[in-house]
């Protein structure tokens, strides 16, 4: 069945991959951005990767802001499915948590209310594994029953924003008589070649590693997944009955920065990621002055693993090996001389 899908945050790293897949499957897409003049940039990024370039005729960009009322109702006209990806994902923590929490939570509720008013019954929300894994007690393996504790000491504003936004979405569909079908995708750290030169925070982390800006690597790592798997998960979640009313962690493996750096070195020999691992005590000290480091201090030395059986069983997705995604990202950045 061909759908008309509104994708918020269309200019984003993940959203571009989702839109590509939607267009390839014959769907019509309305992409939202705060700056509609980015339509040309979107078309230029999508055109070379589409199975059929003429499918761009089924794409249009509209201007919407998560913090403003204007435009939501008209954007939703004729739409039958909402994929809500837009949310701030800053590389370093803002001083004021509200800078990320408000657009995440108010934006999610604004999108859901507009969808309800437009009679849209099918919603896929991009949450994050950070809404899952910051539980009060450490777990060996996290699954979809786990929820981040919003009161946890040292919780980043970003993790708080994603947790409260996802909670608000579940509450909205359960308490309001919406008749809405909600599926939630909880990606871990997303890697893989971007579409177009404006890439998000996760790719900037690889770029920073490749430049060797940091003389040492913190004892820090990520639960990782591939951007193609994340995009495919959103598209499958629209239709699969097993995905309705459920969260889905997208996860392949945990990788220490040291391991990511080693994959980068093999894939892109001109890159200069640091080799030495910094003692935790040094990172704590640096974190006092550097907000980008401060955010990772509570995670030093911690391994985060997740159960991906729901991704495999409900969505039918076998995860791509994220060592390949790291290598692909490193080659992509080298080819474009971004790193």
Q: Which residues are catalytic?
A: 162
Confirm or reject binding of residue 220 to ligand NAP (CB under 6 A). Answer: no
Exposed/middle/buried for residue 137 (C-beta within 10 Å: 0-12, 13-18, 19+): exposed
Exposed/middle/buried for residue 239 (C-beta within 10 Å: 0-12, 13-18, 19+): middle
CB of residue 9 to ligand NAP, shortest distance in Å = 3
- Closer CB to ligand NAP, 128 or 148, in the complex: 128
- Closer CB to ligand NAP, 106 or 242, in the complex: 106
Q: Which of 11, 61, 163, 299 binds ligand NAP (CB under 6 A)?
A: 11
CA Rg, the chain, in Å? 19
* Binding span for ligand NAP by CB under 6 A among 73-81, 86-94, 207-215, 254-262: 86-94
How many residues belong to the site for ligand NAP (CB under 6 A)?
Answer: 28
Report how far residue 333's alpha carbon sits from residue 339's, in angstroms, rounded to the nearest whole number.
Answer: 6
* Binding span for ligand NAP by CB under 6 A among 83-91, 231-239, 255-263, 290-298: 83-91
- Closer CB to ligand NAP, 36 or 285, in the complex: 36
CB of residue 122 to ligand NAP, shortest distance in Å = 18
Confirm or reject binding of residue 273 to ligand NAP (CB under 6 A). Answer: no
Confirm or reject binding of residue 162 to ligand NAP (CB under 6 A). Answer: yes
CB of residue 180 to ligand NAP, shortest distance in Å = 19
Confirm or reject binding of residue 200 to ligand NAP (CB under 6 A). Answer: yes
CB of residue 269 to ligand NAP, shortest distance in Å = 26
Confirm or reject binding of residue 101 to ligand NAP (CB under 6 A). Answer: no
Q: Tokens in use for 254?
A: 């945990």
* Binding span for ligand NAP by CB under 6 A among 70-78, 84-92, 279-287, 310-318: 84-92
Q: Which of 14, 123, 243, 306 binds ligand NAP (CB under 6 A)?
A: 14
**For residue 126, what are the CA distances in angstroms to 42, 130, 217?**
20, 12, 30
Confirm or reject binding of residue 249 to ligand NAP (CB under 6 A). Answer: no
Confirm or reject binding of residue 202 to ligand NAP (CB under 6 A). Answer: yes
Confirm or reject binding of residue 66 to ligand NAP (CB under 6 A). Answer: yes
- Closer CB to ligand NAP, 9 or 319, in the complex: 9
Q: Which of 24, 41, 65, 280 binds ligand NAP (CB under 6 A)?
A: 65
- Residues making contact with ligand NAP (CB under 6 A): 9, 11-15, 33-35, 65-67, 85-89, 103, 107, 126, 128, 162, 187, 189-190, 200-202
């Amino acid at each position: 069945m061909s759908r008309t899908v509104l994708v918020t945050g269309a200019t984003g790293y993940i959203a571009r991959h989702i839109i590509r897949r939607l267009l390839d499957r014959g769907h019509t897409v309305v992409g939202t951005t705060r700056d509609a003049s980015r339509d040309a940039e979107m078309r230029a990024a999508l055109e070379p990767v589409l199975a059929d370039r003429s499918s761009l005729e089924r794409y249009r960009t509209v201007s919407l802001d998560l913090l403003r009322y204007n435009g939501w109702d008209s954007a939703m006209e004729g739409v039958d499915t909402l994929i809500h990806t837009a949310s701030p994902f800053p590389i370093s923590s803002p001083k004021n948590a509200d800078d990320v929490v408000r657009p995440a939570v108010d934006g999610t509720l604004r999108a859901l209310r507009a969808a309800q008013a437009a009679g849209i019954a099918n919603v896929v929300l991009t949450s994050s594994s950070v809404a899952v894994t910051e539980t009060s007690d450490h777990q060996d393996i996290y699954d979809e029953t786990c929820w981040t504790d919003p009161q946890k000491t040292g919780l980043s504003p970003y993790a708080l924003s994603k947790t409260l936004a996802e909670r608000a979405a579940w509450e909205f569909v359960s308490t309001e008589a919406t008749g809405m079908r909600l599926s939630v995708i909880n990606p871990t750290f997303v890697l893989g070649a971007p579409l177009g030169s404006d890439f998000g925070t996760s790719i900037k982390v690889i770029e920073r590693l490749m430049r060797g800006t940091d003389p040492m690597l913190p004892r820090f790592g990520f639960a990782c997944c591939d951007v193609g798997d994340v995009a495919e998960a959103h598209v499958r979640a629209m239709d699969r009955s097993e995905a309705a009313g459920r969260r889905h962690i997208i996860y392949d493996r945990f990788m220490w920065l040291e391991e990511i750096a080693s994959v980068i070195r093999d894939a892109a020999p001109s890159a200069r990621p640091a080799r030495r691992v910094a003692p935790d005590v040094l990172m704590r000290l640096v974190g006092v002055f550097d907000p980008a480091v401060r955010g990772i201090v509570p995670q030093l030395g911690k391994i985060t693993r997740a159960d991906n059986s729901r991704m495999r069983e409900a969505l039918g997705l076998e995860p791509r090996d994220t060592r390949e995604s790291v290598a692909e990202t490193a080659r992509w950045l080298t080819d474009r001389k971004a790193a």
